[in-house]
Structure 1
Amino acid sequence: MIMRKNLFVVALAAGILTFSSCASKKDLENCRNENNQLTNDYQNAKETIAANNARIKSLEDQLAQAKESAAALQGSLDRSLNNANSNNINISKLVDQINESNQYIRHLVEVKSKSDSLNLVLTNNLTRSLSKDELKEVDVQVLKGVVYISLADNMLYQTGSYEVNSRAEQTLSKIAKIISDYKDYDVLVEGNTDDVPINTSNAKMKNIRNNWDLSCLRAASVVQYLQDHFGVNPKRLTAGGRGEYNPIATNDTELGKQRNRRTQIIITPKLDQFMDLIGKAPETKQAK
């Protein structure tokens, strides 16, 4: 009887150790996946912050130059006032120049403020209806009034193909809504790949010569999908491919290749529409 109890205890302990080991492996794998996702999100955030900082730096440089010009003109005016009896400087003209310089400074400050506000409005409009899971695979940036939406290829296309999959419908429907809100904008759909040559043994790829072909066909599939399923005016749409030649990350790692395999939807206002946007962002039904 005692021996049976001992055997039972030993078997129970072995089972607990086996279960604990499996649980630990699963937790470790979950941690690795979460770490990879956080690393990807962190890299995207760094790139967005870098682009925004570059824009701010450019405006700050222009503002500093304008202030220096105003200070120089003010100094010239002071010298002219001190030596008014010994020269023929046109004081009235110099004052006008100072006023123009001050007006330009105010204009730069106003443009920067409106540009930041416009970018925020467009970004909010684009991301307001995307779920947290979709935002992991959809990168949205607004730079100088141009909207860049980058979508991972695994959420758009069937494996080893350029055909749009059923999973993409929900996300593309939301992007089509934004495109419809800004109905006067031009839309460029741009395909991108990593540097791995295509597998021509795949039946779906046998008539595709290289990554140029694949990137163009994938962009054309998205354009066709937006037109056929959501009624986007085809006159506004352009499909293009950049193959492997527009990477945003190194192709030396699997994560880098994954980031390079993407389709960008670029929504660009014409110059006159961009100037209108500076004054007022268009309303949307959802905003109402």
Structure 2
Amino acid sequence: MIKKAAMGFAVLALTTSCVSKKVYNELETKFADLKKENRHIADQNDSISKVKNQLNLDHIALKSDYDKLKAERDKLAVDYAASSKNLKTLQESYKALEKNSDESLQANMAKNRELLAQLESKEKALAAEKDRLNKLNADLKERSNRVNELESMIAAKEASMKKLKETLSKSLKAFEGKGLTVQQKDGKVYVSMENKLLFESGSWAVGSEGKKAVVAVGKVLGDNPEISVLIEGHTDNDKFAGAMGQIENNWDLSTKRATAIVNILSENKSVKKDNLTAAGRGEFAPLMTNDTPEGKAKNRRIEIILTPKLDEISKMLNDI
């Protein structure tokens, strides 16, 4: 607009030859001012353009931030709605739980009281059982001591019987090979004498050689007064054919022979008569078969069975 005005003034000046110098100068000055103003306006226009461009960039950035904030706001709104729903659910659950907790607490307290009562009962039972166990342990220890003592006594008896067997074997050595044997078994000592050493067939009278053997046994028994003595008479299975009226059968004969041995042992004043027992076994406890002469000879015998007195041991066994 200003350029157009300046050009109009210039054309007018050139076409008007009659214009005065003063007017010309004024116009020229005004033109210069207009040009200066035009440059200033152009500079302002450039500055405004730069500001406009910057404002456009700022607007774009602000719009982007706005869109981002809006998306975040929308997301927060959704999260808030979900959280609010969850909070409401939790509040309702808490109220229900709080109500149930009181009921559960009362039930648990009752259960705990019951468990405590059971525990006290079990503690009392355990204490009683402990007392019983202590008593059993004391009894067991006492019984163990008695068993040890009993074993010692049995071992001593066994050693005593072994010594007795050795003494008898030594005292009766002269009768070895004459139908006399000495052996130890089951805690007892057995002195076995065949009839050929002691009796004639069908007789219960002891011969001189046999009497020497019995007397030797009596001497050993006199030195061992704590020994019980069982004298058993045995026969073969041949029917007794001696004088009728005096002997009824083999059993009667075996008994008379056992009694004869007891009478010889009783002649020794050191032998305690209440330790002696006579028994007839007849043909009913054979050592061997009666089908051979050798077997029958072994079965016709006297057995002197020496047993340690076990009264003290029996008493201890009853006390255990």
Report the TM-score when normalising by structure 1: 0.53
Aligned partner (choices 141, 150, 163) of residue 205 of structure 2: 163
CA RMSD of aligned residues (A): 3.6
User: Are positions 1:264 and 2:303 aligned together?
Assistant: yes
Report if aligned partners of 1:189, 1:266 keep a CA contact under 8 Å in 2: yes
Mark the CA change 1:116 to 1:155 in structure 2 (over 3 Å): closer, same or farther: farther
Q: String of CA shifts for 1:113-151, please: whole Å, max 9, x gaps.
A: 43133123123223322317538722333645x554332
Cα distance in 1, alignment partners of residues 292 and 142 from structure 2: 51
Aligned partner (choices 122, 138, 141) of residue 181 of structure 2: 138
Which residue of structure 1 aligns with residue 71 of structure 2? none
SS at 1:252's partner residue?
coil
Report if aligned partners of 1:187, 1:237 keep a CA contact under 8 Å in 2: yes
Which residue of structure 2 aligns with residue 112 of structure 1? 151
User: Are positions 1:101 and 2:144 aligned together?
Assistant: no
Which residue of structure 2 aligns with residue 212 of structure 1? 251
SS at 1:242's partner residue?
strand
Which residue of structure 2 aligns with residue 89 of structure 1? 126
Cα distance in 2, alignment partners of residues 105 and 84 from structure 1: 35
Tell me the matched-pair count: 190
SS at 2:176's partner residue?
helix
Q: String of CA shifts for 1:23-51, please: whole Å, max 9, x gaps.
A: xxxxxxxxxxxxxxxxxxxxxxxxxxxxx
Mark the CA change 1:132 to 1:209 in structure 2 (over 3 Å): closer, same or farther: same
User: Are positions 1:121 and 2:163 aligned together?
Assistant: no
Aligned partner (choices 198, 207, 214) of residue 172 of structure 1: 214
Mark the CA change 1:184 to 1:139 in structure 2 (over 3 Å): closer, same or farther: closer
Aligned partner (choices 138, 141, 151) of residue 193 of structure 2: 151
**Structure of greater relative contact order (alpha carbons < 8 Å, 6+ residues apart):** 1
Which residue of structure 2 aligns with residue 238 of structure 1? 277
> Deviation at 1:94?
0.9
Cα distance in 1, alignment partners of residues 294 and 144 from structure 2: 45
Matched to 2:180, the amino acid is E
Cα distance in 1, alignment partners of residues 232 and 182 from structure 2: 14
SS at 2:199's partner residue?
coil
User: Are positions 1:222 and 2:264 aligned together?
Assistant: no
Matched to 1:245, the amino acid is F
Cα distance in 2, alignment partners of residues 103 and 140 from structure 1: 36
Which residue of structure 1 aligns with residue 4 of structure 2? none
Matched to 1:212, the amino acid is W
> Deviation at 1:262?
1.7
> Deviation at 1:157?
1.8
Task: From the two aligned structures, give the one with the greater helix fraction.
Answer: 2
Cα distance in 2, alignment partners of residues 248 and 103 from structure 1: 44
Aligned partner (choices 224, 227, 233) of residue 182 of structure 1: 224
SS at 2:126's partner residue?
coil
Cα distance in 2, alignment partners of residues 234 and 111 from structure 1: 28
Report if aligned partners of 1:185, 1:236 keep a CA contact under 8 Å in 2: yes
Report if aligned partners of 2:183, 2:190 keep a CA contact under 8 Å in 1: yes
Report the TM-score when normalising by structure 2: 0.48
Mark the CA change 1:250 to 1:110 in structure 2 (over 3 Å): closer, same or farther: farther
Which residue of structure 1 aligns with residue 289 of structure 2? 250
Cα distance in 2, alignment partners of residues 157 and 111 from structure 1: 42
Cα distance in 2, alignment partners of residues 256 and 240 from structure 1: 22
Cα distance in 1, alignment partners of residues 120 and 139 from structure 2: 22
Computing the radius of gyration from Cα coordinates, the structure with the larger value is 2
Cα distance in 2, alignment partners of residues 84 and 150 from structure 1: 71
Cα distance in 1, alignment partners of residues 298 and 146 from structure 2: 39
> Deviation at 1:193?
1.0
Mark the CA change 1:148 to 1:184 in structure 2 (over 3 Å): closer, same or farther: same
Report if aligned partners of 2:227, 2:308 keep a CA contact under 8 Å in 1: yes
Report if aligned partners of 1:193, 1:262 keep a CA contact under 8 Å in 2: yes
Report if aligned partners of 2:180, 2:191 keep a CA contact under 8 Å in 1: no
